[in-house]
Chains A and B, each alone.
Chain A
Amino acid sequence: MSKSSVDAILDKYQHERTRLMDILLDLQDEVGYIPEESIPQIAGALGISEADVEQTLSFYHFFSTRPLGKYRIYLNNSVVANMMGRAEVAAAFEEALGIKFGQVTPDGRVGLFETSCIGMNDQEPAAIINNYIFPCLTPFRVREIVRDIKEDKPVEEMISYQYGEGQNTSELVRSMVSNNIRKVGPILDPGYKAGEALKKAIQMSPEQVIEELKTSNIRGRGGAGFPTGLKWEFCRKAKGEKKYIFCNADEGEPGTFKDRVILTELPRLLLEGMIIAGYAVGASEGILYVRYEYRYLKRYLEEILENARKKNYLGKSILGKEGFDFDIRIQFGAGAYVCGEESALIESAEGKRGEPRDRPPFPVEQGYLGMPTIVNNVETFCSVVKIILNGGEWYKSFGTAQSTGTKLLSVSGDCRYPGVYEVEWGFSVNDILDMVGAVKQQVQAVQVGGPSGSLIGPDEFGRILGYEDLSTGGSLIIFGHHRDLIREVVLNFTNFFIEESCGSCSTCRIIPVLLREKLEKILNARGVSKDIDDMIEWARLLKASRCGLGQTAGNPVVSSIKNFRHLYEKMLQKNKDYDAGFDLLAAIQAGAEATGRVPLV
């Protein structure tokens, strides 16, 4: 890496410190890692300290200052990946490459790493190799991949036998990823015609657009469920020289992958929603924040933005509407689940660590660069387009009284047809199991809403999906009776929260680690009933955390104890209420043997 090529990257982003993420991403893409010697150069150009560069750089999973190899393999370690045979795949990688996870081959060519859910739950086990997705892995396929690597084949040529379907086959994507769209509704409707809703919107006043959303009762689709119309109205009324529209495509909740399908098949629908938002709120710039794992869509999405500019859907005086100027840029993340939290997302887009902000002030008052900002989920923007096109009243005809419209579900786990389903709110879990080909008698539990949601058993399968009952961002993971819920699911989710905590709040940084200690104690057959009570008690403290990640980090433990307490109790020591969790005799055995003394315990 020469000094001048770093300079070229710095120039591209005009030495702007808020673009540090992009600078690091470009460097990482070009070199495969971020060389230490480039840090002073970056710091100098941006007018920040070297420590400042390091604090952003070291926050994100995919940034590294050590060389990670020409081929960088990241194997997903999510629950569903494990259920679909990840252990064998992981072993095959280690064997074929002769290294362990976290290592780089001695010749420096190949690195093997773990990564949190990459949004491919319907085609696991899956890995990312140099930004290309390798789904549906088997030990056989792993050996093929390693053989190709040894032959120095370019990654883009290492396809199995064909690309996925739909736009995955397009020239700019060429990915092996499948969409697995199983059920369409108004949002996924393939008859969508780009621009119709936008043309209609600019005939309306911005207030009318917002009013239509309020009529529709649509609430945010990311999980928190804030009324969209209200959010836009707050932002419209907030004072600021400039306003921003953020689309949150940092789809990181394990088990969620519907945004990936929208980004692939209906990116114009999403952009149209953002442009309408720009018009309604009075914003001039939009930022589409996409998780790093979907970087294989970069060229494709950029091309679509370019085409939108050519058609004047973006740019100055959009579609002839005087004074309506709006453009969109893509901001990639670099591997941090917490950036899905809206204020952390904004921090990250400003080139900083993805640490959530304190509220108030809310982003609608002071968001990106201190200006009023709305952050909405991919699906929310898509829904807005349909609401503008067909009216808020029409939208209300879908779903329930309190949860209007449709919801995209990402279904995975033990069922015949994992994939994306668009259903009206109000479907029960039973309906969904029927729909996706899961035999009810064989289902032990369903995780609704990802790790931060809840793990429910058959007695709750009659509950309905909606803000009034089971609120969800759309992830449903199905577990059959043969799954060990505590070991395979709860422990994995808890590890996920430990891995993904930003570390700012004491509670979220420490408590999940303590919960894992307890889980391991119980799983190692050393648990007593007090351990279960302790876990519930300690997890309550997480409610004092700043953001949703911290507040829900105890949910896997708490909801599994609530609904599957018997599974924990089965593993406890009998007739014992206290256990130190520490085997003194075993610990001193070696010493006792060496000295020939018999311990008096």
Chain B
Amino acid sequence: MAEVVRLYIDGKECLARNGQYLLQAARENGIFIPTLCHYDGVKPKGSCRVCTCKVNGRLMTACTTPIAEGMVVENHSTEIEEMRKAIIELFFVEGNHICPTCEKSGFCELQALAYRYRITAPRYPFLFPVKRVVADYSKIIIDHNRCILCKRCVRAIKDSNGKSFFAYRRRGQHIEVILDKQMSEQMSYETALEAEKVCPVGAIMVKRTAFLVPIGQRKFDKMPIGGDIEKNKSF
């Protein structure tokens, strides 16, 4: 099999390494495909659906689609971008996202995407669900109001035996992330910080760290989401 694969994203010829997923291949070609559930180095899950593209005419998630020679990808079309905007809005009505009072503001990928897609108000009615804030773990707080159920924490945060600290409970609209009680007691401070970092929103917060970086000096205060990718082309 060829080492280098040629594919076309919005008509642009791109070269990428065989075996890569579309999302990564696009990044390395300086093309930003938005995502909320993908996290570098973690097995993709395709749960947020934000990276949906049209691949050879079919809707596919870029984070889970392996590239192939001659693949034709529609990424930046009006249809696809409108669809993504609509999906991002879904998260805002499904949970209770109050950006002005959220400690993660400025680091939050959902907020950053909302800015990028110029969302002023969601088109859907707010569902105003009643959700819990769980603060009885020793190191972290889980605020279910903000959780977008991307499963990043479940997939990324594991102990030395490969057991996940986090898991899902229930299904459908009642689904929620849980932290294993027993394992949470042994969770190191570093792991807790990693969990906070992995969370794209403010659902996982390490206690007593919320404003170590002041508002205004945060990641997305300096550069819009995707800005780094669109500037630095490699390969």
Contact = CB atoms under 8 A, between A and B. Distances in A.
Interface of A: 40, 48-52, 54-55, 58-59, 336, 353, 358, 360, 498-507, 509-511, 513-514, 517, 534, 538, 541, 543-546, 581
Contacts, number: 122
Given A55-B167, A358-B46, A541-B83, A503 B125 contact: no
A49 B173 CA distance: 24
B194 interface: no
B133 to A, nearest CB: 19
B164 A51 contact: yes
Given A50-B181, A358-B61, A544 B49 contact: yes
Interface string B169-198: 111111100111111000000000000000
Contacts of B83: 541, 544
Contacts of B175: 503, 509
B99 interface: no
A510 B163 contact: no
Nearest to B91: A506
Contacts of A40: 182
A49 B87 contact: no
9 smallest beta-carbon distances between A and B, as pairs: A503-B175, A51-B167, A51-B180, A358-B64, A55-B167, A501-B172, A503-B172, A49-B180, A544-B52
Contact of B167 (A54, A500, A511, A538): A54
Contacts of B213: none
A40 B83 CA distance: 44
A54 B125 contact: no
Contacts of A50: 180-182
Contacts of B47: 504-506
A64 to B, nearest CB: 12
Given A502-B171, A502-B172, A513-B173, A52 B86 contact: no
A507 B93 CA distance: 12
Given A507-B87, A541-B83, A546 B182 contact: no
Interface residues of B, number: 46
Contacts of B170: 58-59, 503
B45 A358 contact: yes
B180 A499 contact: no
B172 A54 contact: no
B59 A543 contact: yes
A500 B172 contact: yes
Interface string B194-232: 000000000000000000000000000000000000000
Given A50-B181, A358-B61, A538-B124, A507 B172 contact: no
B79 to A, nearest CB: 10
Contacts of B179: 51
A335 B184 CA distance: 30
B18 to A, nearest CB: 14
Contacts of A504: 45, 47, 149, 151
Most chain-A CB neighbours within 10 Å: which of B151, B168, B170, B173?
B168
B148 interface: yes
Contacts of A544: 49, 52, 59, 83, 87
Given A52-B164, A510-B94, A514-B93, A503 B149 contact: yes
